[in-house]
Amino acid sequence: MPAGPSDDDVVLAARELYRFYRAGEEETLALRGVSLRVRRGETVAVVGPSGAGKSTLLACLAGLDEPSGGEVRVAGVRISHRPETERARLRARHVGVLLQSHNLLPHLTVRDNIRLAQHAVRGRPAVRAAALLEQMGLGRRSGALPRQLSGGELARAGLAVALANSPAVLLADEPTGELDGVTEELVLRMLRDRAADGCAVLIVTHSAEAVRGADRVITLDDGRAREGHEGHEGTAQAKESSHVLR
């Protein structure tokens, strides 16, 4: 692929990702050659029907799962096809991950969950836990355990943890999943602010609001990706995944 002038800005790149699952007799090809690139400051929404491979893609991008084929690079470094401990180290340094399970350790307070996420990042000024919690509207809940939080508070605490290491790449699975309108707007504003600061943001979402706010939309269907989204850029402009690279 020719090197464009802005290729230096690509901080998340996936090339020809395949993910094959075998469960007993059953075999599933959850990803069938997905390629994508996300630049600094860009927000990409990934949409698609249930079972399309969205969570699998996110896990592979985050280095939480290994693709069966293809490669993932984060901040210029290959994160795929490495031992789990190395992937965890690279993730702690470069990637913020927000999962539907909210990535909070149950026995630690919200404040300590943030400090733990920051622990892996030495030699880089960390956002102050108190400031992050204040931004999330959680200033008064910093000493609470996850089980003492409401659903909306949990979602915001999870996002605070994902952002704690000032990541170059933020990956979020349904960050506004079950939130009320006000909390959804707060979370989307936080994501916009991070992108404005230069973070590359990729979210799996069903939220029309989140899709509207994205710079680009990628639709996954049966393990294949195409650029665009019905009702957003229109299927007429949809392109198969190898062209999603851009």
Q: Name the pairing type of β-strands 43-47 and 26-39.
A: unpaired
Q: Angle between the 181-196 and 151-163 helix axes, to the nearest 10 degrees?
A: 10
* 149 Cβ contact list (under 8 Å, min separation 6): 110, 141, 157
CB neighbourhood size of 131 (10 A): 10
Q: Which of 10, 177, 142, 129 lies closest to 188, judged by CA? A: 177
Ramachandran angles phi, psi of 185, nearest 5°: -65, -40
Residues within window 208-237 making contact with ligand ATP, judged by CB under 6 A: none
Applying CB under 6 A, which of residues 13, 43, 44, 56 lies at the interface with ligand ATP? 56
Q: Between the CA of residue 4 and those of 7, 217, 245, what are the distances in Å?
A: 5, 21, 12
Residue 125 CA to residue 24 CA, distance in Å, equals: 48
Applying CB under 6 A, which of residues 53, 152, 213, 228 lies at the interface with ligand ATP? 53
Which C-beta is closer to ligand ATP: that of 92 or that of 175?
175
Residue 216 CA to residue 192 CA, distance in Å, equals: 13
Q: How far is the CB of 118 from ligand ATP (least distance, A)?
A: 29
Which C-beta is closer to ligand ATP: that of 48 or that of 152?
48
Stretch that binds ligand ATP, among 8-16, 46-54, 87-95, 148-156 (CB under 6 A): 46-54
Which C-beta is closer to ligand ATP: that of 127 or that of 211?
211
Residues within window 73-92 making contact with ligand ATP, judged by CB under 6 A: none
Give the binding-site size for ligand ATP (rule: CB under 6 A).
12
Residue 16 CA to residue 7 CA, distance in Å, equals: 18
- Tell me: does residue 23 bind ligand ATP (CB under 6 A): yes
DSSP H or E segment with residue 63: none
- Tell me: does residue 3 bind ligand ATP (CB under 6 A): no
- Tell me: does residue 103 bind ligand ATP (CB under 6 A): no
**CB neighbour class for 221 (10 Å; exposed up to 12, middle 13-18, buried from 19):** middle
Which C-beta is closer to ligand ATP: that of 65 or that of 71?
65
Which C-beta is closer to ligand ATP: that of 70 or that of 129?
70
Which C-beta is closer to ligand ATP: that of 153 or that of 173?
173
- Tell me: does residue 30 bind ligand ATP (CB under 6 A): yes
Q: How far is the CB of 102 from ligand ATP (least distance, A)?
A: 16
- Give the footprint of ligand ATP on this chain (CB under 6 A): 21, 23, 28, 30, 48, 50-56
